[in-house]
Structure 1
Amino acid sequence: MLQCLALALASCAALPVSAQQVRIEPYVSGSLTWTDNLDAASSGGGSGLVADIAPGVSIARDGGRIQGRLDASLRNQVTLSGDKGDSTFLSLLGRGGVEAVDDLFFIDVDASISRDNTSLFGGRIRGDTLNTDSDDEIRTFGIAPRLELRFGDTAATLAYRARWLDSGGELGSQRVGRWLANADNATGFGFFGWGANYGRTDTDYGSSGTTDVSQEEARGILYINVSTQLRLALVGGYESNDYAVRKGESGSITGAGFDWRPNERTIISGVSEKRIFGRGYEFQFKHRRARSSWELGWSRDISSSLQTFDSLLDLPGLRSRYEGLLSGELDPVIREQLERELRALGVTSADLNETVVSNSYFVDRRFRAGFSLIGVRNVLSVSLYRSDRERLGETGFVTLQDDFSIYERIREKSALMSLSHRLSGASAVTATLIRSDARGEGSSAAEIRRTLLSLGLTTRLGPRTTAGLSYRYQKSSGSDDFTENAIIANVAMRF
């Protein structure tokens, strides 16, 4: 994976670029964490002091034929007191695209490497900076070439997307290849329009012994243009997959949808279809004003971890929080720095969505809602999230490190509230409260309830140096019981 990423970056570097469009910024960040429960144990966890030093580089390019962003750091975590052990690993998040042929041929790439708790039912909350076990390392990589074609008013796309998921433990590996062909002319006949798409997904589990699976979908769409703001759609098609049945199952797709844009700041859309797994649907509401953003959505569809990891900012709650806390900062480099400061406070995207890490497919029904209110000195962000995931296939389909090897159904709900107050142009105080509940059901059952409270001060010591001090409290009860208090000091410097 790293060789592929290096090759992609080298190819990008070989193309002519403008120096003003490329930003390469080395940085180093460090933190010192004292915790009264180093082992996250119900009793006898012991106190300890942990240092974390991470030199890294941030590369960003906007505009032109090459666009993207890469953030890579080498994390070195050393236990100064206690017996947690030391660890060193690469942390990476990158996403970009190349317009290889003007208005015709494009290539998108993405990659991530991270370590975090892979189980919902034990250990520290997702996003805790002390989650550095090598067995919990998750690596993903994706490359997607595509052709964008246009014939008059008809737009067409032919694309292939290959994605890999690999882990440092027993989760195993997964490769997903997806072909997609799409043609669309929403106003081809004035009042009526048409669309057609075909997709095939093949999932390969390598030498793990798990049976490879596939999915195929084809749809035809009739658009009804009621007005310039409202469009209706009738959907008909066919699908097949062998996710739950070794010999496969197939059936027709019938449904309807709408897309309503009452103004340039508001989007309301939805679609509902009869599928082989039951009723599938997706509805969303998005509204943005100068000082606020609102989002509401609920959906039911077949999903997987690779699809969940596909877009960082699509995680429930993160988009509104990102737009809220970082809305006043236009410099992409400083925005990335602010994101690192949020992570130093113990709050990351993973906290907002207790994602199931699985190499299996599941029917995922979820609800999400969030808003941010942006004042002159204050930002209030609130998000709610609820999901119900049901495994497709038998337990032999998944590995021992997978929560779906124990539970057939996993339900979650969480709520997050964050208030940020700028004390001055250089300092801010942030308070965050997260409550979550996860339940596993099936032949075995478990439930875990978590609370995370953090309060932190971040200040800019200089044009390229920031520092922070925060207090974090987390409590877990149910299948895993422990309570922890932690104090975190951090500093970051850009060069």
Structure 2
Amino acid sequence: MAITTSRRGSLPLLPLLSLLLPVPASAIDWLAKPSLRLRESYTDNALRAPPGKAQSDFITEIAPAIALIGTGPRLRVHLDYSWHKYLSGQRADTDNHELQASADAELVKDWFFIDANASVSRRNISPFGPQLIDDLPDTDNASTVRTMGISPYLRHRFRGLATAELRYTRNTVDSGGDLLSVHSDEMELLLSGEPRGTGWTWNASHDVRRTQDSKLAPVRMQRSSVGLRYPFSSKWSATASGGMEKEGYISASGKAPEGRFWSLGGVWTPSPRTSVAFSTGKRFFGTTYSLDATFLQRHTNWQLNYSENITTMPTQFSRLGNRDAGQLLDQLWRGIFPNARDRRLRIDAFLRYANSLGPERGAINYFSHRYFLQKQLKLTMARATAKSTMIAGITAVDRTAQTASGIDSGLLPGVEFGSEDRTRQIGGNVGWSWQASSRTSVNINAGYASVRSLSVPRRDNNITLTAGYTRILQPNMTASIDVRHTRHASNRGGDYRENGVSATLTMQF
């Protein structure tokens, strides 16, 4: 049963939401959906042991959860929280929390805004070795990561001149122990000029960020840039940008990570549903390229992205997962599910199933205190009709460490020293759901992830195949049966195969 309320003013919910108070006095609709999931699973390899040492086990999972959506003219809230208790015969009983929450509010009309987000999730400590499986208790290669961010900002449009934004952002990433604890404070000034003459526009920015890692000295990043966009026609525009940057970390090569940068590119928009933006340029680490393309059709949407940037693993942990896939599904489902809140709940449910049993969508992020040059190519496709939905993604990521590896020796004692100096990952994931009738549906998911070290001869492959059948027993009660096959192979040993079957009963209140 969905609990829907309409209330004037603010509603204290969680510490995260309290950051947004006082909420403007305007109508806010709240939709709360508490639920309980009971699952009984059988696995023939509970500990993900090599052949000949596998041990079977029955695992009971109890998972109460709540989904919360708040919508108003000047406030949006989304929260998806669950607690999982695992009762196992082969290992000690365990529990974990899963949270995805975000909120944004306009506190002073046209002037003062605030964004906030928080997450709690299980993550792989290393890209090598046993990987996470949703139904099974954690291995020694997994830990819980908590992230939180808050970003108040001032934004105002000065007619005829520019739109100005001054934003402060505080981000924290914590593993709950000594493995990882990082926080950053960032101040950014953005200026976006009003169109001039034939429609050309300009922009400028100045960004300063201070990062404190519990294992490292503070790092200060500074970046300033200006950009221009000139339209040649209704379909083509040219872009240019340039500036100065200083990353602040101590490079392993001894060369300071700073200097001037520039880029030249273009934007092609042949129709309102198709756009392609591309550029090339120079930064302190070499020639750079970027691509951002979107192609929207009636039932199928595509996104293709390529980027090159300096990043860290805590930064990757802080990014909202499945944003691209969620946006594509939202666009496709607007005609099928016109109610925005109902559509959001359905998107969350689909992506949760599509990701829960397969390899991590996109790049495998892992624990590290190092800075990396990351080159990433990502293709995402979403197809949705009244009867079926499919999400497919392919990701290729090349990461080259920019700082020394010694700082990570305590994080990954079981991994060969230097194996993460340079890694290359290729992954793919396909999730498909078919509505066989008004009460039954079939779900299939396939995932593949390959992680290769280019600094030492190591390569790990992960494959997961799942299939499930779901039936609505009552309006607020659903039963499902799922089967799973997982396989892990490495040229350094530790291979395993695992098969599982689970029966799940989900009740909504």
Q: What TM-score, normalized to structure 1?
A: 0.89
For residue 474 of structure 2, the aligned residue among 426, 440, 462 is 462
What pairs up with 1:118-137 in 2 under 5 angstroms? 118-124=125-131, 126=132, 128-132=134-138, 136-137=143-144
- Equivalent residue letter for 1:149: H
d(CA) in 1 for partners of 2:353, 2:110: 41
The CA deviation at 1:285 is 1.0
CA contact (8 A) 1:346 1:472 kept: no
Give the SS at the match of 2:360: helix
1:383 aligns with 2:393: yes
Give the SS at the match of 2:72: coil
The match for 1:270 is 278
What pairs up with 1:96-111 in 2 under 5 angstroms? 96-111=103-118
Tell me: CA distance 1:193–1:164, structure 2 relative to 1, closer, same or farther (3 Å).
same
Tell me: CA distance 1:264–1:137, structure 2 relative to 1, closer, same or farther (3 Å).
same
For residue 406 of structure 2, the aligned residue among 393, 396, 401 is 396
CA contact (8 A) 1:316 1:369 kept: no
Aligned length: 486
For residue 430 of structure 1, the aligned residue among 421, 443, 447 is 443
The match for 1:223 is 229
Tell me: CA distance 1:319–1:441, structure 2 relative to 1, closer, same or farther (3 Å).
farther
The CA deviation at 1:15 is 3.8
Tell me: CA distance 1:469–1:87, structure 2 relative to 1, closer, same or farther (3 Å).
same
CA contact (8 A) 1:142 1:161 kept: yes
For residue 39 of structure 2, the aligned residue among 10, 31, 38 is 31
- Equivalent residue letter for 2:508: R
Of 423-432 and 244-253, more deviation after overlay is shown by 244-253
1:53 aligns with 2:62: yes
The CA deviation at 1:356 is 2.0
Give the SS at the match of 2:427: strand
CA contact (8 A) 2:488 2:495 kept: yes
- Equivalent residue letter for 1:232: A
The match for 1:116 is 123
The match for 2:9 is none
What pairs up with 1:312-391 in 2 under 5 angstroms? 312-314=320-322, 320=328, 328-329=336-337, 330=339, 332-333=341-342, 335-336=344-345, 339-340=348-349, 343=352, 347=356, 351-357=360-366, 358-391=368-401
- Equivalent residue letter for 1:123: P
The match for 2:298 is 290
CA contact (8 A) 2:480 2:504 kept: yes
The match for 1:308 is 316
CA contact (8 A) 1:30 1:490 kept: yes
What's the % identity of the aligned pairs?
23
CA contact (8 A) 1:34 1:50 kept: yes
Give the SS at the match of 1:156: strand
Tell me: CA distance 1:364–1:247, structure 2 relative to 1, closer, same or farther (3 Å).
closer
The match for 2:29 is 21
d(CA) in 2 for partners of 1:49, 1:38: 9
For residue 447 of structure 1, the aligned residue among 454, 459, 466 is 459
The CA deviation at 1:177 is 1.8
The match for 1:418 is 431
Tell me: CA distance 1:317–1:331, structure 2 relative to 1, closer, same or farther (3 Å).
closer
Give the SS at the match of 1:371: strand
Give the SS at the match of 1:353: coil
d(CA) in 1 for partners of 2:78, 2:394: 29
The match for 2:505 is 491
Q: What TM-score, normalized to structure 2?
A: 0.87
The match for 1:70 is 79
Tell me: CA distance 1:463–1:12, structure 2 relative to 1, closer, same or farther (3 Å).
farther
d(CA) in 2 for partners of 1:9, 1:188: 40
The match for 1:150 is 157
CA contact (8 A) 2:167 2:187 kept: yes
d(CA) in 1 for partners of 2:335, 2:448: 25
Of 83-92 and 155-164, more deviation after overlay is shown by 83-92
- Equivalent residue letter for 2:372: F
Give the alignment's Cα RMSD to 1 decimal.
2.9
